[in-house]
Each structure stands twice: as C-alpha cells, then as structure tokens.
Structure 1
Amino acid sequence: MDPILNPYTPGAGSPPPELAGRDAIREQVRIAIARIKTGRAAKSVLIVGLRGVGKTVLLDKMRLEAEASGAQTIRIEAPENRSLPALIAPQLRLALLRLSRVESAKDIAQRGLRALTGFAKGLKVKFNDIEVGFDFDPEPGLADNGDLEGDLAALLEQTGKAAQGAGTAVVMFIDELQYVPEEQLAALISALHRCSQAQLPITLVGAGLPQLRGRCGNAKSYAERLFDFPEIGPLAGPAAYQAIEKPALEEGVAYQPGAIDLILEKTHGYPYFLQEWGKHAWDVAAASPITIVDVETASIEAVAALDESFFRVRFDRLTPTEKKYLRAMAELGPGPHRSGDIAERLRRPVSGLAPIRNALINKGMVWSPSHGDTAFTVPLFDEFMHRIMPGNDWNTV
C-alpha cells in the first residue's frame, strides 16, 4: 500500500492519529484549569507511567487544549543535566510578557518581570546555567534572596497574580519531572503550595516515570495532598482496537479478522508499540485488508526498528556493569524482581549491587514498585536484553 498515506506515527512524542483511551485524564485537567481560573481549588496533576505509554503526547495534547481555552501555558522538558531554574526562567518570562500586553494585568506582569530579574541574578552563582533576558531592573527584596525555595515561590506568586489580573490561568507543562533534583523539586512543590493557599490561578501538569510519586513524597511530605497522580499504562480492549483500526479505516483500509488481535498480543497494548506495528503492517501489506501474515512479517521489521532506536538508544547509555545487571533482570523475566533474586543471578551480595541499582534508577531505566523490588521502566526491555546479550557469556566472571 502507499507509504505516503500510512497514518501511523511511531516516534518520540509524535502525536498518534487517534489518541485513544485518555479522555478521563484530559477531562480531569480541563476541569482543574477551569476551576483555578475562577479562584476555586484544584490539585495539580502529575501523570506517571512507563516509557512508551504516551505521556509526552498526552501532555502536548492537553497543552493545546489549555491554550484553546484561553490559558497561558509554558512547556518544559527536564533533562538530566539542566537545573530547574534554568529551564523555567525563560518560559516564565515569555508568559509574563504575554500577560503584560493585557491592560488589566500590565502593571502586575511587569512587577513579575522585575521579580524574574531578581530571581535570575540572585541564583546565578548557585545555578550558573541560568540564561534569560532581562526586561526590567530588579525590585530589591522581590525574589532575589538567592534561596531557591523562597525566590521561586515569590516568582510564581507574582506570575499567578498577573494571570489573575488578566482573567486567565498559567499552566506549566513539565515532562520528565523525575529528572529534577530533589532539592529543586521540593522548591517547586513549596511554591505551588503557596500559590494554592493564595488561590492564585497557576498550576502544574507534569509527567514522569513511576518513581516520580516517591520523589515528590520525599521532597515534601504534603505532596500527596497537593497533586493527583493518575497512572497511564497500556491500552486495553476497545481503546487498543481503536488506536489501530480507526486510522486505517479513515484511509479506506481494513484489517483481516484476527490481525489486530495479533498486533495487541505482540505489543501488549503499549501505544508506542501499537504505532510501530501499525506502520510496518501497513508498509508490508500489498492491499486491504491487512492480513495476519502481513502482521507476522511486520513484527520482524518492527522488532528490528525498535532494537535500533527505542531500545538501543537507552542501552548505549549504560556502563558494562549496568548492562549486566539488566541482563540478570531479563533472565528472570519481565519483572518486577526481588533484589535478592537479581543478586543471586549475578553471584554478588545485594549490598554490593546497590550503587548499580541506584544509578539505573537515576538514569530512568528501572524503578522500585515496592521496597526491595526492581522493575524495568521500558516495556519489553527484557526481551531486548536477551536479543542484544544472548547466551550465557554475559554472566561469566
């Protein structure tokens, strides 16, 4: 079939043709934003889930919906090597500049821009990666103490007041939140808490790996009362079928009975994998309907594509000892696995493996569903580890 008309979109953060199964979370965020606009209380929302479940896609979709409702939004992805102040300062500047063009919020927004100048200058020594334009001179004593927790609270408070003056809300969309260092995460939580207490229309919609819940709780004990933590996972039932079938039908292409079931079996319903299998099934099919044989052939190509991109890019970041640890996990199956069982496979004491496990958690490769358990954050990574490190040579002393 014509590859130009292929409707499927595998890729990091690429929006799928059909965002199936996520309506409840989208509605939750819509209501929260509408409530804070009117001065009513609403929790910030932090979406958690494994790699490949569509957190980034969902975050971007909700940001567009928030903007369509009239909210001011900022979009941040938190990498491992940048500070939160460096990421948030330029985006808050843009939001404040937009708010300053609203006559009813002009003076408050300009004070917010003065707060931003004080914030950046006060924290420049501690966070030397802060780079932001200065539109106004700082106001002495406003967000310029050099203390992240207090200064960020003052800056967000001023931003919230500007949004209030403009009759709107500021919504911060932050992806990969699990990479924000705990001290900086604590400052962000504290600042949002102060704004919530003041009933200011500023909120956070974030996304991260499952360990984000624990990191927030460790950073501030009241985080569980400030945030909702909806968890998203693989699609099941009608939503999974819809994600595969509807885009094809819109192009006049059908699936043979059983073909979609086979795709769901191969992908376990994970949205990223559904797009990968759909793309390859379309490309190998000669004509409609796409058959079970087409899906079988496509599965070989889809696995090869994942091995060279989705899986490989994560594998290549690992040290030899980290690879060996993950291969031991894979030997035990998909998981989660007890730390003692992994140590037994590696013929090492549990205490000696703790630094490796912690490094893998920090890299976002594994997480701990419960005390003493370790699980992959990347679905089907156990199968990949068997392919990339076959046999038993990996465990030789």
Structure 2
Amino acid sequence: MDPRQNPYAPGAGTPPPELAGREDVIEKASIALDRIRAGRSARSLLIVGLRGVGKTVLLNRLNQDAEVKGITTLILEAPERKSLPALLAPALRTAILKLDRLAAGGELAKKALRGLGSFIQAMKVKYADVEVGLDLGIEPGLADTGDLDADLTALLRAVGEAAKDRDTAVVLFIDELQYVEENELAALITALHRCSQLQLPITLIGAGLPQLAGQMGNAKSYAERLFEFVPLDALSEEEARAALLEPAEKENASYEPAALESIFRKTRGYPYFLQEWGKHAWDCADSSPIRAEDVDNCATDRAIAELDRSFFRVRMDRLTPAERKYVRAMAELGAGSHRSGGISKVLGKSVNAVAPIRSSLIRKGMIYSPSHGDTAFTVPLFDEFLKRQMPNFDPLEGGA
C-alpha cells in the first residue's frame, strides 16, 4: 500500500491519528481546569504510567485544549540533572508576559514579573544552572529569601493573583516529573497547596513513571489529597482496534479481524507499539484489507527491528555493564514484576550487594517498585528485547 498515505505516527510524543481510550482523562482535566478558572477547588492531575502508554501525547493534547479555552499554559519536560528553578524560570517569564499583555498595563502581572526577577537573583546563588537573562527588575520582599519553599510559594501566588485579575488561569504542564529532586518536588507541592488554599487559578498537570506517586508522597505526606493520580495503562482490545481501524478507514483501507488480533497480541495494547505495528503492517500489505500474513510474516519483523534500533536501544545505551546484567537477570525471570531476592539469586549475590545497582536503575527510570520488595520494568516488552540482545546470559561473566 502507498506509504505516502500511511496514517500511523510512531514517535516520541507524536500525536497518533486516533487518541483512543483516553476520553475520560481528557474530560476529567477539562472539568478541573474550568473549575480552577472559575475560582472553585479542583485537584491537580498527575498522569502516571509506563513508557509507551502515551503520557506525553496526552499531556500535549490537554495543553492544546487548555489554550483553546484561553488559559495561559507552560509545557515543560523535566530532564535529569536540571534543577526545578532552572526549569521553571524561563517558562514562567513567558507566561507572565502573556498575562501582562492581557492585563493591558495591569500592575499585578508586572509585579509578578519583578517577583520572577527577585526569584532568579535569589536562586542563582544556590542553583548554578539558573541562568540570568533579561533584566526583569526585582520586587523587594517578594520571592527573594533564597529559600526555595518560601520563594516558589510567593512567586506562584503572585502569578496566580495576576491570572485571577484577568479572569483566566495558569497551568503548569510538566512531563517526566519523576526526575525532579525530592526537596524540589516538596517545594512545588507546598507552593501549589498554598495557592489552592487561597483559591488562586494556578495548577499543575504533570506526567511521570509509576514511581512518581510514591515520590510525591515522600516529598509531602498530604500530596495524595492535593493531587489526583491518574493511571494510564495499555489499551483494551476494543480501544486498540479503534486506534488501528479508524485511521485506516479514513484512507479507505481496512484490516482482517485476524490481523487486528495478531497486532493486539504482539503489542499487548501499548499505544506506541500499536503505531509501530500499524505503520509496518500498512507498508507490508499489497492491498486492503491488511491480512494476518502481512502482520506475521513482514510487519512484526520490521517493527521489532525498528524498536530494537531506537525505542529499546536508547535506553540500553544508558546502562552500565552492572546495570545491564541486573536487568538481564530480571528478563531471565520472565515478564511481570519480580522479588528483589529472586533477581539477586539469579545473579548469585545477596540482595544488599545488588541494592545500589537497583537504586541506580530506579533513578534512571528503567525500573520501579510496584510494591515493597518488587521490581518491574518501566519499559514494556523490554525483557524480550534483552533476551534478543543478550541471548546467552551468564551472570558470572565479567565478574561482579
């Protein structure tokens, strides 16, 4: 079939042609933002799930929906080894300038902008990655103590007051929140909590790996009351069928039922993988309908090869030899979560001996703990990739 008409879009955060199975989350966010803008209480949303479930895609969609409502948004990705003040400062400047234009000379937005100047001046002493750009001026006594909890609270309060003055809201969309340091998460939670108490129209919609819920709770014990954690999982078979069929039908193409069943079985309903298999099934098929033979004899080999070169490989390349051995031991035990003791037994070592490796893998976002003592991959199907890449696993090879 003509690759120029191929409707599927595998990629990091690339919006799929059909955002199937996420309607409830979209509606939940819409209601929350409408309430916050109206001065009513609503919990901030945190979307949590494995790699490949579409968290980034959904976050981008929610951001677009908020902008259509006339809400001022910041959309950010928290990288590893970057402080929260350095992440927020440039985006807050842009948001406040938008409010300043809306305010047509209003003082509250200008005060918030000067408050940001004070915040940057105070934070650059403690955080070396905070850059000083344009001279924003300063607001004496506002966000200038050098204490992140107090200053971020004061700054977000000033931004919230400026938004309220213009009958709008400000929403922080932050992806990969699990990479923010615990003390910085605590400061963000404190600031949002205070703004919520004052019913100011500023909130957070964030996304992160499954461990984010525990990290937020560790940072502040009341996080579970301030945030609504929205788990994002693989699609059901019906939702996966819609994600594949509806884009094809718009191009006057279809699938045999057996082809859809085969793709669902191989992808387990994970949205990223559905797009990958859909793309290759389309290119492999000579004509519509796409058949099971197209999937099994061509598309699957191409999809796996592409995932091995990109989606899986970039994660494997970040691991040290000891970390690779640990995750290969996990793969040896099969899919699902495994007890730490079982993994260490495969490695022939004690739980304490491999605990630092496990902790490092959690920090890198490669694994997480679904419950105390359990360990699972944050990347679906990673166990199968590891067996392909390291077929002859010897836990003793290369030493400890």
Q: TM-score w.r.t. structure 1 length? A: 0.99
The secondary structure found in structure 1 opposite 2:204 is strand
What is the rounded CA distance, in whole Å, between the counterparts of 1:33 and 1:214 in structure 2?
A: 25
Residues 121-160 of structure 1 correspond to what in structure 2 (within 5 A)? 121-160=121-160
The answer to whether residue 14 in structure 2 is matched with residue 14 in structure 1 is yes
Instruction: Check conservation: 1:186, 1:219, Cα contact below 8 A.
Output: yes
Q: Which amino acid aligns with 1:21?
A: G
Shift of 1:135: 4.8
Residues 91-110 of structure 1 correspond to what in structure 2 (within 5 A)? 91-103=91-103, 106-110=106-110
Shift of 1:183: 0.6
Please identify, of 123-132 and 49-58, the stretch whose mean Cα deviation from structure 2 is larger. 123-132
Q: Deviation per CA, 1:50-101, whole angstroms, max 9, x where unpaired? A: 0000000000000000000110000010000211101101111111101011
What is the rounded CA distance, in whole Å, between the counterparts of 1:148 and 1:161 in structure 2?
A: 20
What is the rounded CA distance, in whole Å, between the counterparts of 2:212 and 2:136 in structure 1?
A: 36
* Other-structure match for 2:253: 253
* Other-structure match for 2:363: 362
Q: Which amino acid aligns with 1:166?
A: R
Shift of 1:132: 4.7
Instruction: Check conservation: 1:174, 1:207, Cα contact below 8 A.
Output: yes
Structure 1 residues 190 and 395, CA, compared in 2 at 3 Å: closer, same or farther? same
What is the rounded CA distance, in whole Å, between the counterparts of 1:133 and 1:346 in structure 2?
A: 51
Shift of 1:139: 1.4
* Other-structure match for 1:307: 308
* Other-structure match for 1:38: 38
Residues 99-248 of structure 1 correspond to what in structure 2 (within 5 A)? 99-103=99-103, 106-248=106-248
Q: Deviation per CA, 1:116-172, whole angstroms, max 9, x where unpaired? A: 000000010111111253453211111010111100000000000010001000000
Q: Which amino acid aligns with 1:62?
A: L
Instruction: Check conservation: 2:122, 2:144, Cα contact below 8 A.
Output: yes
The secondary structure found in structure 1 opposite 2:257 is coil
Residues 79-94 of structure 1 correspond to what in structure 2 (within 5 A)? 79-94=79-94
Instruction: Check conservation: 1:105, 1:165, Cα contact below 8 A.
Output: no
* Other-structure match for 2:379: 378
Q: Which amino acid aligns with 1:276?
A: E
Instruction: Check conservation: 2:346, 2:395, Cα contact below 8 A.
Output: no
Instruction: Check conservation: 2:347, 2:395, Cα contact below 8 A.
Output: no
Instruction: Check conservation: 1:74, 1:95, Cα contact below 8 A.
Output: yes
Instruction: Check conservation: 1:105, 1:162, Cα contact below 8 A.
Output: no
User: What runs of 5+ residues in structure 2 fail to find an aligned partner?
Assistant: none
Shift of 1:237: 2.8
The secondary structure found in structure 2 opposite 1:171 is strand
* Other-structure match for 1:393: 394
Where does structure 1 differ by over 6 angstroms across 4 or more consecutive aligned residues? none
What is the rounded CA distance, in whole Å, between the counterparts of 2:132 and 2:242 in structure 1?
A: 44
Structure 1 residues 395 and 287, CA, compared in 2 at 3 Å: closer, same or farther? farther
Shift of 1:105: 7.1
What is the rounded CA distance, in whole Å, between the counterparts of 1:328 and 1:374 in structure 2?
A: 12
The answer to whether residue 342 in structure 2 is matched with residue 341 in structure 1 is yes
Q: TM-score w.r.t. structure 2 length? A: 0.98
* Other-structure match for 2:294: 294
What is the rounded CA distance, in whole Å, between the counterparts of 1:19 and 1:334 in structure 2?
A: 27
Instruction: Check conservation: 2:348, 2:395, Cα contact below 8 A.
Output: no
Q: Deviation per CA, 1:265-320, whole angstroms, max 9, x where unpaired? A: 00000000000000000011111111111001100110000000000000000000
Instruction: Check conservation: 1:333, 1:382, Cα contact below 8 A.
Output: yes
What is the rounded CA distance, in whole Å, between the counterparts of 1:118 and 1:134 in structure 2?
A: 12
Instruction: Check conservation: 1:99, 1:105, Cα contact below 8 A.
Output: no
Shift of 1:103: 3.1
Give the percent of matched residue pairs that are identical in Structure 1 and Structure 2.
60
Please identify, of 145-154 and 133-142, the stretch whose mean Cα deviation from structure 2 is larger. 133-142
Shift of 1:395: 4.1
What is the rounded CA distance, in whole Å, between the counterparts of 1:117 and 1:144 in structure 2?
A: 9
* Other-structure match for 1:52: 52
The secondary structure found in structure 2 opposite 1:375 is strand
Instruction: Check conservation: 2:175, 2:206, Cα contact below 8 A.
Output: yes
Shift of 1:238: 1.8
* Other-structure match for 1:4: 4
What is the rounded CA distance, in whole Å, between the counterparts of 1:319 and 1:346 in structure 2?
A: 16
* Other-structure match for 1:318: 319
What is the rounded CA distance, in whole Å, between the counterparts of 1:393 and 1:227 in structure 2?
A: 44
Q: Which amino acid aligns with 1:377?
A: T
What is the rounded CA distance, in whole Å, between the counterparts of 1:136 and 1:313 in structure 2?
A: 39
Instruction: Check conservation: 1:104, 1:166, Cα contact below 8 A.
Output: no
What is the rounded CA distance, in whole Å, between the counterparts of 1:105 and 1:56 in structure 2?
A: 35
* Other-structure match for 2:24: 24
Structure 1 residues 201 and 132, CA, compared in 2 at 3 Å: closer, same or farther? farther
Q: Which amino acid aligns with 1:180?
A: V
Aligned CA RMSD, in angstroms, stands at 1.0
* Other-structure match for 1:75: 75
Instruction: Check conservation: 1:324, 1:395, Cα contact below 8 A.
Output: no
Q: Which amino acid aligns with 1:48?
A: V
Please identify, of 360-369 and 100-109, the stretch whose mean Cα deviation from structure 2 is larger. 100-109
What is the rounded CA distance, in whole Å, between the counterparts of 2:189 and 2:104 in structure 1?
A: 29
Residues 261-300 of structure 1 correspond to what in structure 2 (within 5 A)? 261-296=261-296, 297-300=298-301
Shift of 1:106: 2.0
Shift of 1:393: 3.4
The secondary structure found in structure 1 opposite 2:264 is helix
Instruction: Check conservation: 1:255, 1:288, Cα contact below 8 A.
Output: yes
The secondary structure found in structure 2 opposite 1:76 is strand
